[in-house]
Structures are given as structure tokens and as C-alpha cells.
Chains A and B, each alone.
Chain A
Amino acid sequence: MFKSRANSVLRLTTPFKVLVQRFTFLALVGTALGLMVVGRADVRFVEQARIAAVDAVAPILDALSRPAATISQTVDRVQGLIALDRENTLLKQQNNRLKRWRNVALQLETENRELQKLLNFVPSSALSFISARVISDSGGAFARSMLINSGSRDGIREGQIAVTGDGLVGRVGGVGQRSSRILLITDINSRIPVVTETSQSRAILAGDNSDRPQLAHLSSVARVSVGERIVTSGHGGAFPPGLPVGQVISVAEGDIRIQPFVDMSRMEYVRAVEFGLDGFLPMARGSGGGEVKP
């Protein structure tokens, strides 16, 4: 069967056929280049098209991502059993420490309530969140985003903030019917207004596709030290203030690196939180687009 096919192919390999093939090839190369230009010019349109395509394969990704998670959980459980005794001691110590912190927190809560009453303070709007499973990892070194198995039908909206219990993960970039893309804080297009917790220096957290995003446009370099916590500043209105982001891991000449609190490679679930913020950062519009000067 294949032999006869090969023969017919040979017979058809006339100059005309070659010409058609060359034209097809060039047309496809042109289409690819055109897509890049359009993708650069109209980010939202391309992202919508992209997420619509992802929607079609989302169930497959969802199903296939489960075995990997199960294997990982089993490994974790076995490791946990081995380290059970040591872990127990550690947890007891931690529990004692946390109990003390709880008392402190309760005290502060009461104090805060009293002070707010004194000031007639209006608390920020109530937030709602949607939990979703991560169904795709960032594919390779060129982009840091992940797909989740919830979309517009579950209440996911563009601009919602993705967090885990540890801290900030990123924000919802594209929304499909049943899947969405989260732009991670490590992505090259991510620019987040942040503030250092103790020295209160404003900066922009700029992703560069590495595991450790850079602290750029810092208002006062001298005061930042290794180990300092970084939280969102709330400037620009896209992120609420005070979300834990990471801590300073290295301070070099003009290059301050942050280790995010969230381990992006071990995430199985994220929460997309609706903070009721309208501040829309035109994300992924190249380096300049999403940037908000501190």
C-alpha cells in the first residue's frame, strides 16, 4: 500500500509540485513571522485565541496531570514516614512557637479593632476566591506561566490574583471557558510594584524567566539587606498591598534577587482571589507595558 503511494508521489514530483511545496513553505514561514508581529501588537487578542485553543485540550491536560501529582504525593508520603520522628519533634517546637504568636495576633486583632473604631476606618472590600488545580507547568525556559483547570464558567476573571498559603504566585492573564493562564511573578513580562517590609523602599519586582526575579527601580538601594521580606505595595491598583512575595536572597551591584515564598514547581493547587481591584495592568505588553514606576 505504501509502495504504491511512494510511486504516485514520485510521479507527481514535477517541477510544478516542487513549486507548490516551496510556496507552501514560504507561506507558512510568513504566517509564523506574522503571528509574532500580531502577538506583539495585539496582546489581548492573541492571548484570547491562545486560551481558546488551550480550552480544547484542557481536559486532556487535567487527566494527564493527575498521575504525576499522585506519584509525587506517594513519594512525599514515603519520605514523610521515614522522617516521622524528627518531624514530630520539629512540629511540636513549631507548635509552641505558633501558640505564642497566636496570642500576640489575638491581642493585636483586638487592639486593631479598637483603633479602627476610634478612627472610623472603612475596611477593604470582602474578597472571594476560587481554588483550581494546576494542569500545566511552565513549558521551558522561555515563558513562566501555568494553566489551571478553571475558567470563566467557574468565576475566574482576568486580573485576579493567584496565591497559595505561602504567598503571591502571579495573576490571571488569559481566561477561557474551562481553563485559564496564570502569569507567574517570575515571567519575563511580569512587573509588580513591591515594597521592602522593614526599610519600606519601593521597587518593581521584574521577572526574567529565572527562578529568582530581580528587584528593579529601587528607591533606596543602600538600605536593602539579604533576608528582608518583600510584599506588594498596591501601587498601580493591580495588586492589593501587603501580599507576601518573597525575600531578598542576594544583593549585588545593581542586581538584587528575590527568592519567592512560593515554590512554583511544587504547586498543585492555587487560589485565584478577587480583590475587587479594577486597576488593570496591561500585562505581557513587553517590558514597558505592565510597568508602574514606583
Chain B
Amino acid sequence: MLWSRLDLVARSLTPMAITLLLAVISVLPMQIPSFGAVSPVLSLMAVYYWSIFRPDLMPSVAVFGAGLFQDILSGTPLGAFALVFLLVRLTVVSRRRFFIGNSFVVMWWGFMLVAVGSQALVWEITSLLSMTLISPSGVAFQVFLTLSLFPCFAWLFFRAQQAFLRQS
């Protein structure tokens, strides 16, 4: 009984664990020229995906924690990604039925809006807090890279969902 309970808890931590892991991976030095400046925001993909499919396992507190972790690792102003992830969750959860009922392309298109919106917001916050205009081209490329990689990661999330959270 205890074992199955533990198993259940461990399984239900999957979305959060994946999100944190992706935040770590996104700051690893890849030794690719100029990659650091445009490395995709992997944790945003996870927040988006799990907010659609398992918002019960990705509560506001978890989303806030993931954002704060992203801020701590990547050096953005503390609270910037925390705020943005919260807003992403708020936006997506209310429309999750629409995304679940439609094809993947619709979900990808939704992610485009979310990615553009959230990166624009982080850009504004960072520029405002540092009182300097950050060059938008790097941010644009970062959004582009995040968008293009989304299908791969969505597939991985889907497999993880199948493997660990199938009972639902």
C-alpha cells in the first residue's frame, strides 16, 4: 500500500521533474558558437505542455518554482520567468479543452503565441529593470529556436506521459 502510494507520488512528480531538468539542460555550456545567447527556453515548453495535459500535476506553486529556478540559473531578474510562467499557465489552462480536442498543429500554433508573448514580456521586464534596451534580434532568434524544437520535446513529453502517467 505504502509502495503504491510512493509510486503514485513519484509518477505525479514527473511533469515538475522534467521541467526542472530542462531548465538545467538549457544552461549547460554546449560549446557551440553564440549558442548561449539564443539557447531555447526548454522549460517553457514543459510548462505549456503540462498545463494543457496535466494542470493538476502542474499547480501554480510548481509553475512559480520552475520559473524561479529558471531565473536563478539563467541570471534573469529574479521573478521574471516566475511571473511569465504563471501567466502562461493562466492563459493555457482555461483553453486546454480546445487544445486537447484539436490536432498537434493547433497546439504548436498556440505555443507560438505563448512563446512570442512570454519572451516579449521577459524582454520588457529585463530591459525595464536594467534601464537599457536589450537587442531584440537575439530574443527573436531564441523564440524561433524554441518554436522549431517544440515538436521534438512535445513528443518526448507525450512519451513520458504514456510511460509514467498512463492510468489517467
CB distance from B117 to the nearest CB of A (A): 15
Docked-complex contact B126 and A188, CB < 8 angstroms: yes
Q: Mark A186-214, 1 if CB is under 8 A from B, else 0.
A: 00110000000000000000001111000
**B residues near A288, Cβ cutoff 8 Å:** 131
Residues A181 and B75 in contact, CB atoms below 8 Å apart: yes
The DSSP consensus for interface residues of chain A is helix
Q: With an 8 A cutoff between CB atoms, is B94 at the interface?
A: no
Query: B4–A209 contact, CB under 8 A?
Result: no
The reply to whether the CB of A60 lies closer than 8 angstroms to some CB of chain B is yes
- B69-87 near A? 1/0 per residue, CB < 8 Å: 0101111111110110011
A131 within 8 Å of B (CB atoms): no
Restricting to A137-156, which residues have a CB under 8 Å from any CB of B? Answer: 137-147
Residue of A32, A38, A142, A188 with highest tally of chain B CB at under 10 A: A142
Contacts of B102 in A (CB 8 A): none
Do A138 and B61 touch (CB < 8 A)? Answer: no
The answer to the question of A267 belonging to the interface, with a C-beta cut-off of 8 Å to chain B, is yes
Q: How large is the interface on B (under 10, 10 to 19, 20 to 34, 35 or more residues)?
A: 35 or more
Considering the chains assembled together, what is the distance between the CA atoms of A94 and B102 in angstroms? 63
| Number of A positions contacting B (CB below 8 A) | 63
A38 to B68 CA separation, bound complex (whole angstroms): 14
Q: Is B90 an interface residue (CB 8 A)?
A: yes
Instruction: Tell me if B156 is interfacial: C-beta within 8 Å of chain A.
Output: no
Taking chain B's interface residues, is the majority helix, strand, or loop, or is none over half, making it mixed?
Answer: helix
Contact with A along B7-51 (1 / 0, CB 8 A): 010000000000000001111111111111111010000000000
Contact in complex: A141, B142 (CB < 8 Å)? yes
Question: Within the complex, which residue of A46, A140, A209 is in contact with B135, where a contact is CB–CB below 8 Å?
Answer: A209
Contact B78 A141 (CB under 8 A): no
Q: Which residues from A are CB-within-8-Å of B167? A: 1-3
| Complex Cα gap A225–B34 (Å) | 25
Complex: A139 Cα to B130 Cα, angstroms: 17
Q: Is B107 an interface residue (CB 8 A)?
A: no
CA distance A69 to B82 in the complex (A): 30
Residues in A whose Cβ lies below 8 Å from that of B72 = 50, 53-54
Q: How far is the CA of A287 from the CA of B128 in the complex (A)?
A: 11
- A213 to B31 alpha-carbon distance, docked (Å): 21
Query: Is A112 part of the contact surface with B, judged by Cβ < 8 Å?
Result: no
Can you name the residue of chain B whose Cβ is closest to the Cβ of A36?
B79
Measured CA separation A143–B61 after assembly (Å): 25
Residues in B neighbouring A24, C-beta threshold 8 A: 60-61
Looking at the complex, which one of B36, B77, B132 makes contact with A138 (CB distance below 8 Å)?
B36
Known: A32-B83, A210-B138. A265 touches B125 (CB 8 A): no
The smallest C-beta distance from B71 to any residue of chain A, in angstroms, reads 8
- The answer to whether A61 touches B28 (Cβ under 8 A) is yes
- Which chain B residues numbered 132 to 154 have a C-beta less than 8 Å away from chain A? 132-135, 137-139, 141-142
Q: Contact at A139–B74, with CB atoms within 8 Å?
A: yes
Q: How far is the CA of A167 from the CA of B139 in the complex (A)?
A: 27
Chain A neighbourhood of B61, CB < 8 A: 24, 28
Whether A228 sits at the interface, judged by CB under 8 Å, is no
In the complex, whether B168 has a CB less than 8 A from a CB of chain A is yes
Q: Is the CB of B79 within 8 A of A286?
A: no
Q: Are A54 and B73 in contact (CB under 8 A)?
A: yes
Measured CB to CB, the closest approach of chain A to B162, in angstroms, equals 14
Whether the Cβ atoms of A35 and B37 lie closer than 8 Å is no
- Interface residues in chain A, defined as those with a beta carbon under 8 Å from any beta carbon in chain B: 1-3, 6, 9, 21, 24-25, 28-29, 31-36, 38-40, 46, 49-50, 53-54, 57, 60-61, 64-65, 68-69, 71-72, 134-147, 181, 188-189, 208-211, 263-268, 286-288
Closest 3 CB pairs of A and B: A139-B74, A35-B79, A143-B75
Known contacts A2-B167, A60-B24; 5 additional CB pairs below 8 A are A25-B90, A39-B78, A40-B129, A57-B73, A139-B26
Binding site for A on B (CB under 8 A): 4, 8, 24-39, 41, 56, 60-61, 64, 67-68, 70, 72-80, 82-83, 86-87, 90, 122-123, 125-126, 129-135, 137-139, 141-142, 165, 167-168
